Amino acid sequence: MAPAQPVGAPAPRDGRIPASCAHGCQNRDFSLYVHIPFCSVRCGYCDFNTYATEDFGDGIGLGTYADDATAEIFFAARTLEASGVVKRPLHTVFFGGGTPTKLPAYDLVRILKTAIDIFGIEDGAEVTTEANPDSVTYEDLQTLKDGGFTRVSFGMQSVVPEVLKVLDRTHTPENVPKVVAWARDIGLQVSIDLIYGSPSETLEQWEQSVQAAISYKPDHISTYSLIVEDGTKLAAQIRRGEYTMPDDDLMADMYLRAEDLLMQAGYRWYEVSNYSRSEHTRSDHNMAYWRNQDWWGIGPGAHSHINGTRWWNIKHPIPYAHRVRAGESPAAAREVLGSGTRSFEAIMLLIRVREGLPMSELLAVHPAADLGDSLQWLLAQGLIEPDIFTNTGAPNPDASVKLTLQGRLLGDAVTRELLPDIK
């Protein structure tokens, strides 16, 4: 069972954005996230809104999903216009899941083309789909490339069969280099997702997975630590004593080993869990999230954010489909963020990126004297880079606070120190 959705205020059926949030959007990037909730098997660690079925009944399922997704895209365009939000071309588009490639490639292209026809798209914009290595053919990838996709992200997670079994991952590890080679041959950028810290995973097994991913020569590699969420099958297994999670020291060793191997191979970190070969192969879509820009989330359970208004859709595909087919907002609830909350969230997100957190964001919520003490302490612990003070010893408003390697390992502690209300 997936966790409950957050609690917010009732969302209006017309989906209108408050005027206070609609104003100023023209200076912000606008992206699209399309959630595809279908999977062949629901992985034991997954708490995303996914379903291991293709037919929900009531005429709703895999075969109708593209129609329902495009219906919400049309609704989004009408709602933004009615709210007075200036029309902006899409900065990025990302299809996530679930397993987006459970949908036929031509349906994914149809959804994308609908969005581009309605909103337009920036020149050179990144268009990504996630994919299971077992769920795509060469012809699928060619269809996606011809239809406007520029990037594919393969969920590899590990090459070790025992680790994949713990995670309930069913793909064949030998398929990963094959599909990566296909995508590269077609001209798609390629990202590979890895997960470390699975129960019983050793440092040697993790190193094997990282080295394998590097050998496939993708443009981008993500290394996410496993987070066991309440309500998942894996959480229940751990609670029953079937599995034991690795300790913090082993998790740190895994992160450091991946950093070493990736750096040697020419990858550079640009966000705590993400590495790319160059500035041009970063995930622009994820950077839009970390920079707290605007996006509309399409699909059941998808989250959206427009300049301080955040909402989330009904989770189950049946009531979601009924709403969009009726031309109504599928939002379950929403919240309008105050300036303090927006500043705090900016701190929590921007501290994760290589360019760092602008000091101006901190000074907006932190008394300068207290901030100076916090920065001095973090500097003494070796968690942040130097050169953040003026000649008088005050925090430099033109500087950015950047994490060291040790700071990346202890990012939560850095964030707690920089957020005065949660120390």
Clarify whether residues 277 and 411 are in a common domain: no
Clarify whether residues 279 and 382 are in a common domain: no
Domain-terminating residue out of 294, 323, 347: 294
The pLDDT of residue 4: 57
Question: Is the pLDDT assigned to residue 258 strictly greater than 70?
Answer: yes
The pLDDT of residue 5: 62
Question: Is the pLDDT assigned to residue 207 strictly greater than 70?
Answer: yes
Question: Is the pLDDT assigned to residue 341 strictly greater than 70?
Answer: yes
How sure is the predictor about 41, in pLDDT bands with cuts at 50, 70 and 90? confident
Number of domains within the chain:
2
The pLDDT of residue 110: 98
Question: Is the pLDDT assigned to residue 160 strictly greater than 90?
Answer: yes
Clarify whether residues 257 and 377 are in a common domain: no
Query: 146 lies in a domain?
Result: yes
Q: Which residue range forms the structural domain that includes residue 367?
A: 339-418
* Range of weakest confidence among 153-157, 227-231, 373-377, 402-406: 227-231
Query: 329 lies in a domain?
Result: no
The pLDDT of residue 44: 74
**pLDDT (tens digit per residue) in 169-182:** 877 888 999 999 99
Query: 246 lies in a domain?
Result: yes
Query: 314 lies in a domain?
Result: no
Clarify whether residues 277 and 365 are in a common domain: no
Clarify whether residues 28 and 168 are in a common domain: yes
Question: Is the pLDDT assigned to residue 201 strictly greater than 80?
Answer: yes
CATH number, domain at 238? 3.20.20.70
Mean pLDDT computed over every residue of the chain: 93
Residues 394-412, mean pLDDT to the nearest whole number: 95
Query: 42 lies in a domain?
Result: yes
Clarify whether residues 122 and 212 are in a common domain: yes
How sure is the predictor about 155, in pLDDT bands with cuts at 50, 70 and 90? very high
Clarify whether residues 244 and 350 are in a common domain: no
The pLDDT of residue 2: 45
> Is-contact 66 111, C-beta < 8 A?
yes
The pLDDT of residue 232: 84
Query: 331 lies in a domain?
Result: no
Query: 333 lies in a domain?
Result: no
Clarify whether residues 32 and 126 are in a common domain: yes
Query: 214 lies in a domain?
Result: yes
Question: Is the pLDDT assigned to residue 49 strictly greater than 90?
Answer: no
**pLDDT (tens digit per residue) in 282-315:** 999 999 999 999 999 999 999 999 999 999 999 9
CATH number, domain at 371? 1.10.10
User: If you average pLDDT over each of 46-55, 320-329, 337-346, which comes out highest?
Assistant: 320-329
Clarify whether residues 254 and 357 are in a common domain: no
Domain-terminating residue out of 265, 294, 323: 294
Clarify whether residues 141 and 196 are in a common domain: yes
